[in-house]
A and B are shown apart, each in its own frame.
Chain A
């Protein structure tokens, strides 16, 4: 293999695929990134067997070939090269790649490309989605997925295509986020659902540029994987096995208190309360007060308290409908939702301190989150 690439392109490509390299890989070759020439491009691939990322960068190929190089060493080196042309030359006898850039010259020992696992690749786009929409849907759900895997299925995002509606939902047992959207150019005769690891989806969201108008999706068929592709990058993910718990039943249909506030006001109040709530398992208290007389604003108060460090109380004007409310929430859960709501106003709905709370953007019904409170009295 003999090829030349630009340092910026190589560095960017490596930063994209390196996300699939585990810090403690199960096989030595999984610590490596695959370099393979393809026409006038250089293909970079990395995988942890669950998640695989492949990206292409422009190259001047003099001699076709392939090799794998240790991802960490190679990326660190490339990041410290000057923004010039990088010449890569493989010595097949020693499986060593000579990396030349300007006046620096390095040799990196690799592992034969034949040892690199086969990554399911290519295939037709079964459906395409606007890039920004897909990115929003992912960002508005992945945060609610479980981080620990004592219930592995909850570390994934339930993804369903039904008719022209796509639904994504994630829940970690204490909160739930559900986002739906309408597909413009596709309709599914038969509903199709799967559970995609949240980690994989987070990578998908990360590779989507603002210029990526469409993202192609290859749905699981013969192979039990899902693929997402942008113009230059392709992500292949295994699916999680098992049944995602039924979540539609836990979304409250009614409320006794509905509080509408400016998103940024509530977000700031929550962040201030969180500074103090950290000491008590992030538990912060919310007081909602309806207006004293019609026409006046109601208010919502967010209180974070630390026995050692002090406290914070924040009062926000709110439009309150229904009963007064006092409830405790893990304030991080509120912040996670508010961070991904771009809309001006949000609504918090509740049926009391031991019932699920609903937090959603005002005036929209395609994004809803359910957050369980913390019990106030035992």
Chain B
């Protein structure tokens, strides 16, 4: 029996949330992202903004040149996460087989559920619109690969200025035919390099690729070639994975201007650690390896890591290790362009309790718990430890 897989994509998700926060933004060209004077990029842009040729990941400075009236909104990630959780909860109410792949994207396996696949997608679209006020699109197919591509195609062919609200269904057996006319870049695993090599061979579309014998592709591209051959035929047997196994949790930041001041760098590490620790604890994980990453002005990057005897999940513990690594790695006064911190060696097992886990220790754990609860409710930026606050300029 074939499977029924849905791919959900929230339409211009960050913008949709911002429009809820401020309805005056509706119908206006605006973008969520960093300020143009600080190397910011577009995280998400409204559909009216897209008419100017603006798209996500574009440098904000360039977006402004394309549309001088562009309204720039600073991101409110806490809000997006909260909205995202609401959406995922609606999906989870339908089936436990939900694989969230990013804040605004998910796969669902709805095989065997009552109703046609189209009706199921329509039902979810209506629920998410009526209960949460968010537009979304669906791709429907027998596997994840085709469902995702179907969604891209459906959204691209939507008419009108507003969100696409598309639903694109690829019936069983028509996967290869559906993919055939599409350019090869639509296929997962085809980056610019592979695309260029394929073009040299005269391969333009996925259909062209499907006509190449698998053995030939394997000879030219190795194992990757064999995968390509199967994907080009619309074959993908990967299951919807409900538990996304996290290998590491990390955060990094690129400075607007390179920073050579030790205190600022240490303070930045502190606030990055807060984010990393929070995500760890929310996932019920702890890790025994702490890593820092530094990028100098010339773009060379160094990473240093240390492995601890026990897995940790507390900000203070992570920061202690991160600072130790930092002092070992940073030559005093050397300008830093990017700084990052991560925790890996993750495990779900319970935390090893300490013999001298004093009252003070457990108090600090309780404080952490309270901070986390506040962040869960109001978003990541709601509260910071005093030491991690930037000094206010007078």
CB of B351 closer than 8 Å to a CB of A: yes
Chain B residue at minimal CB-CB distance from A373: B353
**Which secondary structure dominates chain A's binding surface?**
loop
Residues of B within 8 A of A (CB): 281, 284, 309-311, 347-357
Cα–Cα, bound, A312→B299 (Å): 51
Looking at the complex, which one of A174, A175, A176, A375 makes contact with B350 (CB distance below 8 Å)?
A375
Residues of A within 8 A of B (CB): 146-148, 150, 171-176, 245, 247, 250, 280-281, 283, 328, 330, 354, 356, 370, 372-378
Q: Is the CB of B284 within 8 A of A281?
A: no
Looking at the complex, which one of A148, A174, A250, A356 makes contact with B352 (CB distance below 8 Å)?
A174
Looking at the complex, which one of B311, B348, B350, B354 makes contact with A173 (CB distance below 8 Å)?
B354
Q: Provide the residues of chain B in CB contact with A373, threshold 8 Å.
A: 353
Q: Is the CB of B354 within 8 A of A174?
A: yes
Q: Is the CB of B347 within 8 A of A374?
A: no
Query: How many A-B residue pairs lie within 8 Å, measured between CB atoms?
Result: 55
Which of A147, A176, A372 has most B Cβ within 10 Å?
A: A372
Beyond A147-B309, A174-B310, A281-B311, is A250–B356 a contact (Cβ under 8 Å)? yes
Q: Is the CB of B284 within 8 A of A173?
A: no
Q: Which 3 A-B pairs have the closest CB atoms?
A: A374-B350, A283-B349, A280-B349
Q: Is the CB of B355 within 8 A of A372?
A: yes
Looking at the complex, which one of B310, B350, B355 makes contact with A328 (CB distance below 8 Å)?
B350
- Chain B nearest CB from A136 CB (Å) reads 23
Chain A residue at minimal CB-CB distance from B345: A281
Beyond A174-B310, A281-B311, is A374–B354 a contact (Cβ under 8 Å)? no
A/B interface sample: 23 pairs, CB < 8 A: A146-B309, A148-B309, A172-B309, A173-B354, A173-B356, A174-B352, A174-B354, A247-B355, A250-B355, A280-B348, A280-B349, A281-B347, A328-B349, A328-B350, A330-B352, A356-B355, A372-B354, A373-B353, A374-B353, A377-B350, A378-B281, A378-B284, A378-B350
Q: Is the CB of B350 within 8 A of A372?
A: no
- Chain A nearest CB from B20 CB (Å) reads 33
Chain A residue at minimal CB-CB distance from B354: A173
Q: Provide the residues of chain B in CB contact with A354, threshold 8 Å.
A: 353
Cα–Cα, bound, A372→B352 (Å): 7
Q: Provide the residues of chain A in CB contact with B353, threshold 8 Å.
A: 174, 354, 372-375
Cα–Cα, bound, A53→B106 (Å): 65
Q: Is the CB of B349 within 8 A of A281?
A: yes
Chain B residue at minimal CB-CB distance from A355: B353
Q: Provide the residues of chain A in CB contact with B357, threshold 8 Å.
A: 372
Q: Provide the residues of chain A in CB contact with B281, threshold 8 Å.
A: 378
Chain B residue at minimal CB-CB distance from A371: B355
Known: A171-B355, A328-B350. 16 other contacts (CB 8 A): A148-B309, A174-B310, A174-B354, A175-B355, A281-B311, A281-B352, A283-B349, A328-B349, A354-B353, A370-B355, A372-B352, A372-B354, A372-B355, A374-B351, A375-B351, A378-B284
Cα–Cα, bound, A340→B15 (Å): 65
- Chain A nearest CB from B355 CB (Å) reads 5
Cα–Cα, bound, A199→B114 (Å): 68
Q: Provide the residues of chain A in CB contact with B310, threshold 8 Å.
A: 174
- Chain B nearest CB from A254 CB (Å) reads 17
Q: Provide the residues of chain A in CB contact with B356, threshold 8 Å.
A: 173, 245, 250
Chain A residue at minimal CB-CB distance from B324: A150
Cα–Cα, bound, A281→B310 (Å): 9
Chain A residue at minimal CB-CB distance from B307: A148
Chain B residue at minimal CB-CB distance from A282: B349
Q: Provide the residues of chain A in CB contact with B354, threshold 8 Å.
A: 173-174, 372
Q: Provide the residues of chain B in CB contact with A148, threshold 8 Å.
A: 309
Q: Provide the residues of chain B in CB contact with A281, threshold 8 Å.
A: 311, 347, 349, 352
- Chain B nearest CB from A153 CB (Å) reads 12
Cα–Cα, bound, A377→B284 (Å): 9
Cα–Cα, bound, A245→B355 (Å): 11
Cα–Cα, bound, A283→B311 (Å): 12
Cα–Cα, bound, A373→B347 (Å): 16
Cα–Cα, bound, A280→B354 (Å): 18
- Chain A nearest CB from B363 CB (Å) reads 16
Which of B281, B347, B356 has most A Cβ within 10 Å?
A: B356
Q: Provide the residues of chain A in CB contact with B352, threshold 8 Å.
A: 174, 281, 330, 372, 374
Q: Provide the residues of chain B in CB contact with A376, threshold 8 Å.
A: 350
